[in-house]
A and B are shown apart, each in its own frame.
Chain A
């Protein structure tokens, strides 16, 4: 199974800050890497698919990059509604696997 490791596990930042979350795969996943946002009590929501494609309806302050084993989710200007836990997930092979999550808070 492909192991996905996110860093950091938690993060505190101020409104307007640029925030970066990284995700590393234990072996190549090409660009088969997705990012999800989950707010408390809600189902996850797709933000980025195929490493860098912004899902329809997702604010443009979210962006993704990377290929192979190293990926990044960036929020260009943090907003209060971005408080959530973020997960990366690989779809290169079965079983699909997720990172452990990054909990983002506002300072």
Chain B
């Protein structure tokens, strides 16, 4: 079955960077775009960006540009999201989630990884 398994929780100091991984299985890795969405404690969902695992092209939400980088390793079917210059407001659960086959327009997110809690604290 299709599965997205993320790396474990992280605790970082302000100004540091964090790199979260998302390992995909059960489908053709390069055929589905991958999105990252975050959720601050007790808050709603916020889209971070998208990566095309085939070309490694990316598109990031404006508020994260310059601080976020999404990459992939096709040999292991893993996508990565690295966020730098961490501040307390970046404390959140970060989810990877897959788009439908072959498109990044008019898409939807299914399934979702289990989430990775990133805590930014002194």
A12 interface residue per 8 A CB criterion: no
Question: B106–A36 contact, CB under 8 A?
Answer: no
Tell me the chain A residues, 38-56 only, with Cβ under 8 Å from chain B.
43-46, 49-50, 55
A94 interface residue per 8 A CB criterion: yes
Q: A95-B47, A98-B45 are in contact. Are A43 and B113 (CB under 8 A)?
A: yes
- Give the secondary structure class of A's interface: loop
Shortest B33–chain A CB gap in Å is: 11
Question: B44: which of A92, A96, A100 is its contact (CB, 8 Å)?
Answer: A100
State the CA gap A32–B90 with chains docked (Å): 28
B95 interface residue per 8 A CB criterion: yes
Question: B109: which of A44, A92, A97 is its contact (CB, 8 Å)?
Answer: A44
Shortest A87–chain B CB gap in Å is: 6
Determine the chain B residues whose CB is within 8 A of the CB of A74 once the complex forms: none
State the CA gap A50–B103 with chains docked (Å): 14
- Can you offer 7 A-B residue contacts whose CB atoms are under 8 A? A30-B106, A44-B37, A44-B97, A49-B110, A91-B105, A91-B107, A98-B47
A interface vs B, CB < 8 Å?
Answer: 30, 32, 34, 36, 43-46, 49-50, 55, 87, 89, 91-92, 94-101
* Nearest 9 Cβ contacts at the A-B interface: A43-B112, A49-B108, A46-B110, A96-B47, A98-B45, A95-B61, A34-B108, A32-B106, A101-B44
